Amino acid sequence: MSRWRIDWKGDDVRRHVEDAARKGIDDTMAASSIEAKTNHPGWKNITGTAEGSIGITQPAHKEGGLIVGRWGSRAVAYFIWLELKHGAALRNAADRIYPSLRRRIKAYLR
């Protein structure tokens, strides 16, 4: 009989890391949405419809072996025109905010 005992915590660690990833991704998407809503110098807000359409469209979740989430504009057909021809609000917000993803996930791992 061995006197060594292994107390395996791998499943708990995996769940903790996945939870931190989900929360960090959701935080990053929310911050990206706010950045895009408040910073779109290529077009001017007139009715609020385009700005109001920006947000998280699918919270972070497990898809296969990945944790993914989706954000952007919902139900405003002309938003693609604004994005491609008048300033890329979503892409610019992602460029500014996505680098904070590592820090956000790390904060939830503590």
What does the pLDDT look like over 40-78, one tens digit per residue?
A: 999 998 999 999 999 999 999 999 999 999 999 999 999
**Is the pLDDT score of 2 beyond 80?**
no
Q: Which of 48, 45, 33, 27 is nearest to 100 (CA)?
A: 27
Does any domain span residue 2? Answer: no
Would 5 be classed as within a structural domain?
no
Asked, for residue 54, whether it belongs to a domain, the answer is: yes
Residue 21, CA atoms < 13 Å, CB-side half-sphere: 15
Checking if the pLDDT of 32 tops 90, the result is yes
- pLDDT of the residue at 7: 85
| pLDDT for the residue numbered 5 | 85
How far is the C-alpha of 48 from the C-alpha of 55, rounded, in Å?
13
Total of domains in the chain: 1
82-98 tens-digit pLDDT: 999 999 999 999 999 99
Question: Is the residue at 1 inside a domain?
Answer: no
Residue 76 CA to residue 36 CA, distance in Å, equals: 15
> For residue 102, which of 19, 10, 28, 16 has the smallest C-alpha distance?
28
**Residue span of the structural domain in which 74 resides:** 10-108
Report yes or no on 14 lying in a domain: yes
Domain contains 4: no
Is 3 within the bounds of a domain? no
At 54, list the tokens.
């920006």
> 1: pLDDT confidence band, cut at 50, 70 and 90?
low
